[in-house]
Structure 1
Amino acid sequence: MESVIVVDMVVDFLRGKLATGRETAVIEPLLSLLSAARRSRRSVIYVSDAHLPHDPELRVWGEHAMKGSEGARIVAELAPQNGDYVLEKRTYSAFFETGLDSLLRSLGVDTVILTGLHTHLCIRHSAAGAFFRGYRILVPVDCVGAFTEQEQTSGLEYLRRNYGAEMTTSSNLAQRLSFESSRPADGE
């Protein structure tokens, strides 16, 4: 069973302190994928930065997405829906001390669909967390973004080469999820 993991689609990354303008390109394909996932009864899990004042990341990137701030809010276009899960993170990885692994296991998930920002940082570290815990990894390339095209390209290649991530697109995944959810269950 697949689950869509939405990483760091927060105000500070799309419109705030760390925005470059490139990030908004993932919104439309991600909306389409999330719609397909919800229709096919796949879980959607948001895992976003919610930093505290002494988090190590702040030494590198400065203050951003501080817990409880407007900058840490998921952008309105991608607001979680009823039935979605929302977790907070304080490091690059969606798995580090967030409860994500326990949640995925309780939902019977064996495959994660990683989406969001940034391909070469938080998606990369989240993929490592998934890989080391035995999850299959799918990456819709139109639903992830990085600060630069070079970081996007190298980030995707790193995921493919080191974690065996399957590169795909939001439309291919939406079709796959729709097809799989329309098949009769075993024994029917």
Structure 2
Amino acid sequence: MKPAVIIIDMLYEFVKGRLKSPEAEKIIPVVKTIIEKARVKNIPVIYVADQHIPYDFELRIWGPHAMLNDLESRIIDELKPSSRDIVLYKRSYSGFRDTGLDNILKSMRVDTVILTGIHTHICVLHTAWDAFYHGYNIIVVKDAVAAFSKEDHEYALKYMEKIYGARIVDFKELMNILETEVEMQ
């Protein structure tokens, strides 16, 4: 397995702002530890972050959020990217749409994406959908993703497992996978 860790929308808007997940604060230490482990093992860490402009279609549903250059569109300080990490900006739910993510992953010969972040039932789900259609294996770390409600979270996890064949694991299981299944980077 040649994985990359994808950090989805761990932004002020979704962790502390108007569209925050009630569980967002709880997943920060888990996501942080995953990032640290990935860096030690030379596994790519890629952030995908909402940065909207006033004409984005999504704003019709959610109103203005994570607007380009606003504080709310910044990655939270606790998960600040390092100079080795990649940060991509998106204007839709999926981390793949118009971001170049697929080309980057293919150039690194990545075959598996490890998904973390917010919101399980929106941007994580749609990123998984695109990962599936681009031919990647998908791992979702269930205690490193969060949604608006427990019901939304559980529904999305079951959907990704059943429809996309995603491996739904907890943090401890992921640490074992990273030790036993990852090719040397």
Letter in structure 2 aligned against 1:3: A
Q: Which residue of 1 aligns with 2:157?
A: 156
Q: Match for residue 88 of structure 1?
A: 89
Alignment of 1:164-179 (within 5 A): 164-179=165-180
Residue 175 (structure 1) shift: 2.9
Which string of whole-angstrom CA distances, capped at 9 and with x for unpartnered residues, describes residues 27-80 of structure 1? 111111111111110000000100010101111111000011100000000000
TM-score by length of 2: 0.95
**Deviation for aligned residue 1:184:** 7.4
Instruction: Indicate the structure (1 or 2) with the bigger Cα radius of gyration.
Output: 1
Identity score, percent: 42
Paired residue secondary structure (1:123): helix
CA distance in 2, matches of 1:178, 1:82: 24
- Give me the whole-angstrom Cα distance separating, in 2, the residues matched to 1:44 and 1:178: 17
* Cα displacement (A) at 1:170: 1.9
Give the Å deviation of 1:20: 4.1
Aligned to 1:77: 78
TM-align CA RMSD? 1.5
Describe the SS at the equivalent of 1:174. Answer: helix
Structure 2: unaligned runs, 5 residues or longer: none
2-structure distance, mates of 1:151, 1:184: 36
The DSSP-based 3-state class of the residue aligned with 1:142 is: strand
Whole-Å separation in 1 of the counterparts to 2:125 and 2:114 = 13
Asked if the contact 2:21/2:118 (under 8 Å) is kept, the reply is no
Distance 2:15 2:141 in 1: 19
CA distance in 2, matches of 1:22, 1:128: 23
Runs of 5+ in structure 1 lacking a partner? none
Provide the residue aligned with 1:62 in structure 2: 63
- What does residue 143 of structure 1 align with? 144
Question: Do 1:32 and 1:174's aligned partners in 2 also have CA atoms closer than 8 Å?
Answer: no
In the alignment, the residues of structure 2 paired with residue 20 and residue 93 of structure 1 have an alpha-carbon distance, to the nearest angstrom, of: 18
| Residues 120-157 of structure 1 deviation map (CA, whole Å, 9 limit, x = unaligned) | 11011000100000000001100000000000010101
The residue number in structure 1 matching 2:24 is 23
Distance in 1 of aligned mates of 2:3 and 2:174: 10
Paired residues of 2:5 and 2:114 also in contact (CA < 8 A):
yes
